[in-house]
Amino acid sequence: MRLSGRIDLGLFYSRTDITIPIRNEDRQEAIGWFKNIDLKENDEVIIDIKKKRQKRSLNANAYFWQLVNKVAQKLNCSDQDVYRKLVKDFGVSTTLMVRDEAKEAFIRAWTEGKDSSGWFVEDLGHEVLRAYSGTSTYNTKEMSRIIDGLVEECKELDIETMTSDELEHLKATWRQR
């Protein structure tokens, strides 16, 4: 179950209470979920909390792919080649240790069924892999970093891009959504 809310802290002499009020429209679902797992009032629970991030807008995605296409045409390669290089240079990755006998299974699990060539694994040797995530999972900050890298690439190739002000405006609109 996924809920969102704002944290309220109650500071008391012997304890601190953390309350997360939820939206009214989520209330019935939450109550049903607690009843379904047979959770009683004093049962101990584990709760994962992470900061809510704004999702990127379709405008950001469309602009990204428009520039990727221009770079690919200029370099005489595929959009996917440019995209993969951007993900590798500016994207999100995880470095992990994987035993040699498990590498193939991990790579298959990481890439299988993904709708993007941005999901790939680089073997760094000595049982170390770097797994890259496609941009479909990026938040605004991560997408902003990869677009900034792409814009720099465009400038080096003499490809016209938005002005700095236009780009900042686009980024600001992502944060408002």
Query: Which of these, 160, 162, 163, 159, lies nearest to 74 by C-alpha position?
Result: 159
Q: Is the pLDDT of residue 176 over 50?
A: no
Report the alpha-carbon distance of residue 139 to residue 18 in Å, rounded.
Answer: 26
Residue 23 tokens read as 């939206």
- Chain position carrying tokens 């479909």: 136
pLDDT, one tens digit per residue, over 98-110 is 999 999 999 988 9
- CA 86 from centroid of its chain's CA atoms: 15
Query: Which of these, 60, 57, 48, lies nearest to 3 by C-alpha position?
Result: 48
Beta strands at 93-97 and 120-125: parallel, antiparallel or unpaired: unpaired
pLDDT, one tens digit per residue, over 35-75 is 777 767 777 777 777 776 666 666 777 888 999 999 999 99
Q: What residue type is 39 in one-letter code?
A: L
